[in-house]
Amino acid sequence: MRKVLITLVMLSLLTTGFMFAGGQEEAATDGPTSLVVSSRLWSPAAEQNFLYDEVFPEFEKENNVIVKFEILDDTVLLKRAKLQAETGRVTTDVVIVHNGVMDQWISNNYVEELPVADWPGRTFSAAFMDSIASSGKTYFAPVGGDVYLLLANNKAMKYLPAGVDVQDITWEQYIDWAVAIAEGEGEGKCAVTGVPMKSLVYMYGGMFLSYGGEFPVINSPGALEGWKLLTKMHNAYSPTVMTYDNVTAPMKSGETWLTVAHMARTGEAYRSNPSNYVIAKAPKGPKGIGSIAGVSGFGVPVGAEHRDLALKFIEFMTRPEIAVKVARGTGGFLPPIDEAIAVLGDSPVDEVIKKGVMVLQTGVVSGVPGSAYTSWGAVKQVYDDVFADMIIGTGVYDKAILDAAQAKLEALKK
């Protein structure tokens, strides 16, 4: 028994010794500089692995630097920026944030202006200029744009109303299709994110834009048209829709057959077995294809320790050939650089990206006005509540519910 105790103690001493030895070794090493990149984008492990294996090594070799990449959400990134600005100890060299919060970064002077004029051969997509620039100065370099796309399992195709082209479908036709599937199969096969505070607001918001609505107004004339149609979907959603926090899993498993969702999620299901699905632009309304468009952006925090390297990193990542490589390897986000879009091919992932580009270029798109509200999560919840009450709950159109919901949205405005 004593031997075991001695072994245990020795083992513990050894591990502690290792820790100190490791720390000393790190301190003593005069290796390459570490560039800290804190990002809200590319959270899936496979995407990070792609960046580490296929993208960062070239930059690291060119600049004798090691890229340290970490995932944090936008709220944490903003809090950290505030803390670092107050203490003057800026440990992050590059941030990648969502366009919904970019104005907070710019107005609080957390990021510096980017020398985009010194980076030739790239044109940032005009659709995102309002977010990334302010007063004629560009503060963020766009990356990872996204819109909403339609994905259908092949099994759903037999219910597609006669004469309807899935690549040019209207919302009315989409809803008739979803209803026909539910009637034919005895249960709904349509997916949307039913778990509160996910992306339902964007899917519905995009639809309302196609009817002339304004995002995120919930009772505009366009939105009312949309809600009237959506109540027909009472039984068209999957019985377990309220448990979906993203549509990838139910679409991959075949539990659901039809969805309009974020292109990264639809793209992931599509790429898992392209021959099993049809991917298309989001359905259109009288005003065209409506979609909420999001984008992330590279920025350099004011006072970043490795500022020059950070700028070199952004210049590298926004080269068209790198941008398209990143887009292909990280799930099919849009490369928001015109020159990168021009080189897309016909692989499954390029198909996803091209459909997204079509929506972006021809559709009625809106950004996410998150900063106009005290809590964007609460805005999402308002939409989620109406969905639960009026679509899944009663299936009866009730303008009073929508007016009450809009009053809540107004109260959330800053």
Partner 1 sequence: MNNVVKRQLRRSAKRTSLYIVLVGIAFIIIFPVFFLFSFSFMSDYETYSEWPKPLVPSFKANFMIDKNTEGYHLFIFNKSEDGFMPFGPLVFANNEKDIDSLRKFIKLQSNCKISSQKIVEYLKVVDNNSRVEFSIKKDLLANYILFFKVVNGAPKAVLNSLMVAGATILISLSIGGLGGYAFARYFFKGKNILKLSVLFVRMFPAVSLAIPMVIILAKMGLYDQPLGLSLVYSVGQISMSIWITASVFMSIPVSLEEAAMIFGTSKVGAFWHVTLPLALPGLAACAMYSFIGSWNEVIAAVVLTQFNPTFPVVVYKALVGSQGQINLITAGSVAQALPAIIFTLIIRKYIIQMWGGVKV
User: Is the alpha carbon torsion for 382, 385, 386, 387 positive or negative?
Assistant: positive
| Shortest distance in whole angstroms from residue 20 CB to partner 1 | 8
> To the nearest whole angstrom, how small is the minimum distance from the Cβ of residue 162 to partner 1?
23
Of the two residues 32 and 121, which places its CB atom closer to partner 1 in the complex? 32
Report the nearest approach of partner 1 to the CB of residue 89 (Å): 10
Residue 86 Cβ, how far from partner 1 at the closest point, in Å?
A: 14
Find the shortest distance in angstroms from Cβ 166 to partner 1: 15
Residue 5 Cβ vs partner 1, minimum distance, rounded to whole Å: 6
Site string for partner 1, 178-217 (x = CB under 8 A): ----------------------------------------
Q: Of 296, 295, 294, 293, give the one whose Cα is nearest residue 96.
A: 296
Neighbours of 8 (CB within 10 A): 10
Stretch of 17-25, 98-106, 231-239, 279-287 lying at the interface with partner 1 (CB under 8 A): 17-25
> Applying CB under 8 A, does 69 fall inside the site for partner 1?
yes
When asked if residue 276 is in the footprint of partner 1 (CB under 8 A), the reply is: yes
- Which position among 12, 167, 374, 375 is part of the footprint of partner 1 (CB under 8 A)? 12
Instruction: Give the total of residues touching partner 1 (CB under 8 A).
Output: 47
Residue 129 within binding range of partner 1, rule CB under 8 A = no
Regarding 57 and contact with partner 1 (CB under 8 A), the answer is no
Q: Which residues pair with 334 in a beta bridge?
A: 145
Q: Is the bond preceding 216 in cis, omega lying within 30 degrees of 0? A: yes
68 near partner 1, rule: CB under 8 A: yes
Q: Considering the rule CB under 8 A, would residue 347 count as an interface residue with partner 1?
A: yes
Q: Give dist(CA 190, CA 239) in Å, integer.
A: 9
Phi, psi of 97 (to 5 degrees): -125, 165
Choose, by CB under 8 A, the member of 44, 121, 286, 393 that binds partner 1.
44
Asked if 149 and 281 touch (Cβ cutoff 8 Å), the reply is yes
Burial (0-12, 13-18, 19+ Cβ within 10 Å), 369: middle
- Nearest distance, CB of residue 212 and partner 1, angstroms: 32
> Rounded to the nearest whole angstrom, what is the least distance from the CB of residue 234 to partner 1 in the complex?
25
Residue 9 CB-half CA count within 13 A: 6
110-139 burial, b at 16+ Cβ within 10 Å, e below that, comes to bbbbbebeebeebebbebbeebbbbeeebb
Indicate which single residue of 141, 269, 317, 405 sits in contact with partner 1 (rule: CB under 8 A). 269
Angle (CA) 258 276 321, round 5°:
95
Binding segment (CB under 8 A) for partner 1, from list 11-19, 216-224, 322-330, 333-341: 11-19
Which residues lie closer than 8 Å to 351 by C-beta, 6 or more apart?
Answer: 270, 274, 279
CA angle 93, 146, 213 (to 5 degrees): 125
Stretch that binds partner 1, among 8-16, 167-175, 181-189, 205-213 (CB under 8 A): 8-16
Out of 54, 60, 71, 85, point to the residue binding partner 1 (CB under 8 A): 71
Distance CA 32, CA 37 (A): 15
15 contributes a contact to partner 1 by CB under 8 A: yes
Nearest to 234 by CA among 398, 409, 408, 402: 398
Q: Give me the least distance between CB of 239 and partner 1, in Å please.
A: 15
| Per-residue DSSP letter, 222 | H
Contact residue for partner 1 among 28, 45, 162, 400 (CB under 8 A): 45
- Residue 167 touching partner 1 (CB under 8 A): no
Candidate segments 158-166, 253-261, 300-308, 317-325, binder of partner 1 by CB under 8 A: 253-261
Query: Which of 67-75, 98-106, 220-228, 295-303 is the region at the interface with partner 1 (rule: CB under 8 A)?
Result: 67-75
Rounded-to-integer distance, Cα 204 and Cα 391, Å: 12
Q: Which residues of 207-230 are buried (b: 16+ CB within 10 A; e: fewer)?
A: bbbbbbbebbbbbbebbbbbbebb
> Can residue 342 be called a binding residue for partner 1 (CB under 8 A)?
no
* Other CB atoms within 10 Å distance of the CB of residue 176: 19
Report helix, strand or coil for 280. Answer: strand
Smallest distance from partner 1 to CB 140, Å? 22
- 170 vs 240, beta carbon nearer partner 1: 240
Q: Give the residues lining the site for partner 1 (CB under 8 A).
A: 1-2, 4-5, 8-9, 11-16, 18-20, 23, 43-49, 52, 68-71, 154, 246, 248-249, 252-255, 264-265, 268-269, 272-276, 347-348
